[in-house]
């Protein structure tokens, strides 16, 4: 047992973990030539075990590695064991301890955002008003029943509920749809084929530019396969989009969106500017100027991360720890002199 604890708390394990982490980061960086950043995060960093994925390198043997979660866990276990057995809480070491606490906060911050943060986008042309953002890496099947009198009815089926060969009951329409074929989540262009009672089978893809019109028992239904939407209790309007280049070059000098935010719940109605390095924060969500399309559409990245403060806490701890360390070292070296 003692041997185990000694090994667990050893410098050797710390060094080994850091070297493993380096290897993982290196492989995870190389993989970005072939995978997008989200796939890389899923496969290498936000996972317990990872494979040096070889299909793209043309090797036949995948090599197992400890994933990001595994590395984090090893570091935590090592540090906790070291604190419990080996390290002493002396004043001279206070700074070093704070730096290590900062590193722990950093690890938890990354764990938290991998679990809880939600990213989506808003694409706005000038004059557009939107009360939802879209998750461009996920999609859903939507039906809109056009009203004969009263309001339209919207029905949304998330991708997870669509499975080949299974039926999905859509209560609002009082019918069942049989899913004949559905694309895998990794496929670039989503596609779904389904049949409604008494109808020919319908094929929808993510490339469709118009909603499909279906006649169901005298009612008109618009069906579409679209990016997953997150509806919000407030709306954004793009008043104007500014895009400047340095004269005589193709280098972007600035792009910024003038938006109007209307939040009836809070009685807010204000106009403000979102630009690079100057986001808008509202109700736990942050809107960043991410990109633009030629022709004036502005693309805002919408991020919700409940643990955004953890890295900041970590930075404070590290900064305090470093200053404490230098001050104690300095005063000790002063004392040591004759």
Chain residues binding other proteins by CB under 8 A are 10-12, 14-15, 18-19, 21-22, 25-26, 28-30, 32-33, 37, 40-41, 45, 109-110, 113, 117, 119, 246-249, 251-255, 275-277, 279, 286, 288, 290, 301, 303, 305, 308, 311-312, 314-315, 318, 322
Burial class (CB in 10 A: 0-12, 13-18, 19+), 241: buried
Nearer to other proteins, 209 or 249 (CB): 249
Q: How far is the CB of 10 from other proteins (least distance, A)?
A: 7
Task: Supply the minimum distance, in Å, between the C-beta of residue 189 and other proteins.
Answer: 20
**Least distance (Å) between residue 89 CB and other proteins:** 18
* Nearest distance from C-beta of residue 336 to other proteins, angstroms: 16
- Please name the residues in contact with 14: beta carbons below 8 A apart, sequence gap of 6 or more: 75, 78, 79, 82
Nearer to other proteins, 210 or 247 (CB): 247
Output the CA torsion sign for 231, 114, 140, 239. Answer: positive
Report in angstroms how near the CB of residue 159 gets to other proteins at its nearest. 24
Q: Are 285 and 302 in contact (CB under 8 A)?
A: yes
Beta carbon nearer to other proteins, 164 or 301: 301
Q: Is the Cβ–Cβ distance between 129 and 239 less than 8 Å?
A: no
* CB 3 to other proteins: min, Å: 16
Give the contacts of 286 (CB within 8 A, at least 6 positions apart): 279, 280, 302, 303, 304, 305
Q: Least separation, in Å, of the C-beta of 184 and other proteins?
A: 24
Packed helices 68-85 and 11-30: angle between N→C axes, nearest 10 degrees: 160
- 3-state secondary structure string across 262-299: EEHHHCEEEEEEEECCECEEECCEEEEEEEEECCCEEE
The nearer residue to other proteins, 161 or 246, going by C-beta atoms, is 246
Please report, for residues 26, 39, 41, 108, 154, the alpha-carbon distance to residue 31 in angstroms, rounded to integers and kept in the order given.
Answer: 9, 9, 10, 24, 40
φ, ψ (nearest 5 deg) of residue 206: -70, -10
Select 218 or 248, whichever has its Cβ closest to other proteins.
248
- Considering beta carbons, is residue 142 or 305 the nearer one to other proteins? 305
User: d(Cα 109, Cα 304) in Å, to the nearest integer?
Assistant: 14
- Residue (246 or 330) nearer to other proteins, CB: 246
């Amino acid at each position: 047992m003692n041997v185990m604890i000694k090994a667990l708390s050893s410098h050797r394990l710390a060094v080994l973990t850091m070297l493993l982490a380096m290897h993982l980061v290196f492989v995870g960086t190389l993989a970005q030539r072939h995978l997008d950043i989200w796939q890389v995060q899923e496969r290498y960093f936000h996972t317990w075990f990872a494979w040096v994925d070889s299909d793209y390198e043309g090797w036949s043997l995948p090599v197992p590695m400890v994933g990001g979660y595994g590395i984090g866990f090893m570091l935590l276990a090592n540090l906790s064991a070291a604190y419990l057995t080996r390290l002493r809480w002396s004043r001279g070491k206070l700074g070093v301890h704070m730096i290590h606490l900062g590193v722990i906060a950093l690890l938890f911050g990354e764990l938290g955002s991998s679990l809880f943060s939600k990213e989506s986008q808003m694409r706005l042309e000038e004059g557009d008003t939107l009360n939802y953002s879209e998750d461009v890496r996920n999609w859903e099947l939507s039906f809109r029943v056009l009203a004969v009198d009263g309001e339209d009815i919207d029905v949304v089926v998330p991708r997870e509920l669509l499975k080949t060969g299974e039926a999905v009951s859509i209560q609002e329409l009082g019918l069942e749809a049989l899913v004949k074929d559905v694309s895998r989540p990794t496929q670039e262009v989503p596609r779904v084929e389904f049949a409604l009672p008494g109808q020919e089978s319908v094929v929808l893809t993510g490339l469709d530019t118009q909603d499909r019109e279906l006649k169901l028992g005298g009612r008109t239904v618009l069906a579409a396969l679209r990016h997953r939407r997150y509806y919000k209790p407030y709306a954004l309007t793009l008043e104007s989009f500014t895009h400047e280049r340095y004269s005589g070059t193709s280098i972007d000098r600035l792009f910024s969106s003038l938006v109007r935010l209307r939040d009836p719940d809070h009685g807010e109605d204000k106009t403000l500017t979102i630009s690079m390095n100057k986001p808008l924060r509202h109700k736990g969500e942050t809107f960043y100027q991410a990109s633009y399309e030629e022709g004036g559409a502005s693309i805002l990245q919408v991020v919700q991360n409940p643990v955004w403060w953890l890295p900041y806490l970590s930075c404070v701890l590290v900064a305090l720890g470093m200053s404490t360390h230098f001050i104690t070292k300095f005063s000790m070296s002063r004392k040591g002199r004759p």
